[in-house]
Structure 1
């Protein structure tokens, strides 16, 4: 369909597309395309900043306070209530109950004469493998529950066990999604019905779903709120789609943006799927400025060379590992919780 816009018009020597742009007083130079792309990206950035600011400052979390009768004072509250508008923690520090607790700590914190310190054979009650299996089991049980439920009840000594459990529990669900999506999409698109190509399609879709899942986990782990994670992710998704090599083919991407094409995971997904499904097709096609096989057309138009299936799989596996490792480090070393 896009070929008709680059055909020579019967009016003058320009193409059909150039004539239409001229009739509407629109510029037809190539650089105006990238100016438009830059303006759209600027709008995305501005809107994301506004949304982030609104979510941060227009809906602040208010402090919860306990309401007590007016005749309750710090002396008779015993640390269990507070006056309206006063700080509960400060009232507790002034109460008799607080002083009693402090005295108990001092009393029981001093070892008895002749006693020996406690000794344990190991640092943790369970080894790392046992904790990992327990985390995996519990993650499967609470997978569909609220984040508050998970955060309060999943406290383990070895953080690696929790992190691995959080990631591996996603795999069965991703696998089921891949099978359903792959069966529906593959035959609907009417790709070549061979077992090898169908298997490769499932492999690429499984890796794609996996790195999208791990990217979402990474975004949540690196940001203080789900709202900010969603805003940042939407900006990256826009760039991924724009520079994945489909909307703008690789040969048409300017040199200063070509680096982003190679670090774009969607680009490797498209490269792998298209090369695995169409990279060996020798059917002759004819279009404006091109006549040759489908295989040659992919190489000339999209820059998809032969024998790129293995490299695409390796790249997607690398993205999955990268996103998951960053997520693991963010969970271990970043803490956005506030009292």
Structure 2
């Protein structure tokens, strides 16, 4: 608890990180809301579904990468302080890692709700409690695993400059295998396994399926209803939504655990 309180004070006194993140999120939300204005109500054509999925995909990449990049210098500084305080016998690695992970939870929740409310209203997705909850849920855990991934890259590298290079290597890979550029059924079978290992793919699966996977209206430019088109073109099944929700939580927990493990086992302190 002492480490958590220390992190709370550190974040509270660091508006260049916390406040700027909220400001950036608000600007991106308003930008996407105006670009994709009232798109969520249009499900009569395939292009409408592609555009809606594009809004989700762009948000995940823009805000997720920004979270990952912005947390790296913060964690790098905090790790330097941790080395000094651990040498003084104040606390060990795991309490520090626990505090660093836990302090992000409320800030990212505020960020997710801030983005979700603005975009959900402006794009015009269906206003039901369940669908709105799913949207906030997937955005929350997506931003969590991006943030924890940024922390992990700092944990396994000597400084945040190298961490930025390491993390950037996976941005492109996650982008390619997200299922947006190349849908899963069209990915070569020998590479399809990586689709299931890509966290962004699970996020898009959850966001699209939770919003459109239960719609039975027929598309004008095909003989399929919306749910059948999502199943045949993207491989998205509404019945799989529960598993998808579990997987985005698993990725967030996995990256947080690996960060704690890296902090405990690796030491980049220069004497």
TM-score by length of 1: 0.58
The aligned counterpart of 2:204 is 270
The 8 Å contact of residues 139 and 166 in structure 1, kept in 2 or not, is answered as yes
Q: Which residue of 2 aligns with 1:174?
A: 108
User: Is residue 2:259 matched to residue 1:327?
Assistant: yes
Q: Which runs of 5+ in 2 are unaligned?
A: 15-73
Q: How does 1:88-127 map to 2 (within 5 A)?
A: none
- CA drift of 1:306 comes to 2.5
Shift in Å, 1:142: 1.3
Relative contact order, CA 8 A, sep 6+: which one is greater? Answer: 2
Number of residue-to-residue matches in the alignment: 205
**Shift of residue 159, structure 1, vs aligned partner:** 2.3
Q: Larger % of helix: which?
A: 2
1:298 aligned onto 2:230: yes
- Tell me the residue number matched to 1:258: 192
CA contact (8 A) 2:145 2:252 kept: yes
Matches within 5 A, 1:27-66: none
* Residues 205 and 236 in structure 2, CA contact (< 8 A), matched pair in contact too: yes
Unaligned runs of 5+ in 1: 1-132
Give the direction of change, closer, same or farther, for the CA distance of 1:210–1:284 in structure 2 (3 Å limit). same
Cα distance between partner residues in 2 of 1:229 and 1:256: 30
Aligned to 1:160: 94
Aligned 8 A contact 1:142 1:150 in 2: no
Give, in whole Å, the separation in 2 of the partners of 1:294 and 1:140. Answer: 46
Residue of structure 1 in register with 2:149 after alignment: 215
Q: Secondary structure at the match of 1:307?
A: helix
- Rounded Cα–Cα distance in structure 1 between residues aligned with 2:128 and 2:200: 24
Determine the C-alpha separation between the residues in 2 that align with 1:175 and 1:264. 23
2:165 to 231, 241, 245: 231
Corresponding residue for residue 141 of structure 1: 9
Task: Give the superposition deviation at 1:286.
Answer: 3.2
- Residues 1:200 and 2:134 are matched in the alignment: yes
Distance 1:324 1:238 in 2: 22
Runs ≥4 in structure 1, deviation > 2 angstroms? 143-146, 148-159
What is the Cα deviation at residue 152 of structure 1?
Answer: 6.1
Which residue of 225, 250, 258 corresponds with 1:318?
250
Bigger radius of gyration among the two = 1
Displacement of 1:154 in angstroms is 4.4
Q: Which residue number in structure 2 is paired with residue 283 of structure 1?
A: 217
- Measured in 2, the distance between the counterparts of 1:299 and 1:152 equals 51
* C-alpha spacing 1:270/1:337, structure 2 compared with 1 (3 Å): same
Residue pair 1:210, 1:320 contacting (<8 A) in 2 also:
yes
Aligned-residue offset at 1:242: 1.0
Offset, 1:153 = 6.3
